[in-house]
Amino acid sequence: MVVLAKPPALEQISLLRSPELGPGGASSFPGVPAVDLSNPGAALAVVDACERFGFFKVVNHGVPMGVVDRLDAEAARFFASPQAEKDASGPANPLGYGNKRIGSNGDMGWLEYLLLAVDQAPVPKASHVPSSSLRDAVNQYVGAVRGVATSVLEAVAEGLGVAPRDALSRMVTDAASDQVFRVNHYPACPLLQRLPDSYSVTGFGEHTDPQLVSVLRSNGTAGLQLALHDGRWVPVPPDRDAFFVIVGDSLQVLTNGRLKSVRHRVVANSLKPRVSMIYFAGPAPAQRIAPLPELLGHGEQSLYREFTWGEYKKAAYRSRLGDNRLDPFRI
């Protein structure tokens, strides 16, 4: 007999104060930098955005909209299927279908999701993806965004003056690299209309991504917010045609803190459902994560004690979503 855990109710999900931009706050955030990777100067623009915000968007990326639309349609079909069918792909542990529970340490959000290992090979038949059409759409989409992540990491190396150009991107193209893909569905949350305006419901709690970089796109519904380096939260205007790039903890360490991972979160929307898809580019488990020697100035010491991606991932999965996971590795 299969016993299904009852999904947690809204009362168990934390409320958030809506972002307070403070005096001059909104105007002092110039907005999310947009980079066309084919432009001359793109490498420096990428590094500048990663230093200032740990976040930017890639425009004119060349990924056919058909690939994106196909996954949008398949994801919508999956999330609209009967609960029992979705539950058959879960509970997420950590991979599979998850409903409101994020990770295994008590974090919860107003969402359901599919979390998949995508590595280099196509998502296998025996994975948590129930339909072959969804599996094909995921494989095609991931193939395309892996290319975006690779180009971004090449631009980072070039912009930082690191040789060879693939010093970072080869950690992702490595046959043993650890790549994860998640499709999130944040249902509309009409109960929000009964809360005072300054409150919202947590969709996905604040966190940094442990990997090198993450490539995110959404269906154009608002909800994503990011923390600036001074701690202020700002909303990210949705753009369904762009890919948002998020710097992860591992890239922060490889650059000895020059590029910083960015805390981000999602708040529920009262009226419109939000669907997002995120590709997490992680290195091979045995990959050593330590500042690249070219990035250490004369006499400059590493800010972190050395670890492998496998060790970091294990520590991450034992942590709570909002923890500062790099702290225990700081020297």
Q: Which two tokens stand for residue 101?
A: 């529970």
Q: Is 182 in the site for ligand GA4 (CB under 6 A)?
A: yes
| Residue whose CB is less far from ligand GA4, 60 or 105 | 105
Which residues are CB-neighbours of 325 under 8 A, at least 6 positions away? Answer: 208, 210, 249, 312, 315, 316, 319
Instruction: Choose the stretch contacting ligand GA4; rule: CB under 6 A; options: 1-9, 73-81, 203-211, 222-230.
Output: 203-211
Site for ligand GA4 in 108-147 (CB under 6 A): 115
- By CB under 6 A, name the one of 13, 35, 42, 102 that touches ligand GA4: 102
Which residues are CB-neighbours of 109 under 8 A, at least 6 positions away? Answer: 13, 100, 102, 186, 202, 203, 204, 205, 266
- By CB under 6 A, name the one of 209, 243, 245, 267 that touches ligand GA4: 209
Count of residues near ligand GA4 by CB under 6 A: 17
CA 31, CA 234: separation in Å to the nearest integer? Answer: 9
CA 186, CA 182: separation in Å to the nearest integer? Answer: 13
Shortest distance, CB of residue 171 to ligand GA4, whole angstroms?
A: 15
- By CB under 6 A, name the one of 317, 324, 328, 330 that touches ligand GA4: 317
| Residue whose CB is less far from ligand GA4, 49 or 183 | 183
Q: Which residue is nearest to ligand GA4 (CB)?
A: 103
Shortest distance, CB of residue 279 to ligand GA4, whole angstroms?
A: 10
Q: What is the dihedral of CA 231, 232, 236, 237, to 10 degrees?
A: -170
The bridge status of strand 15-17 relative to strand 199-207 is: antiparallel
**DSSP-derived secondary structure for 179-196:** EEEEEEEE---GGGGGS-
Give the footprint of ligand GA4 on this chain (CB under 6 A): 94, 102-103, 105, 107, 115, 180, 182, 207, 209-210, 280, 316-317, 319-321
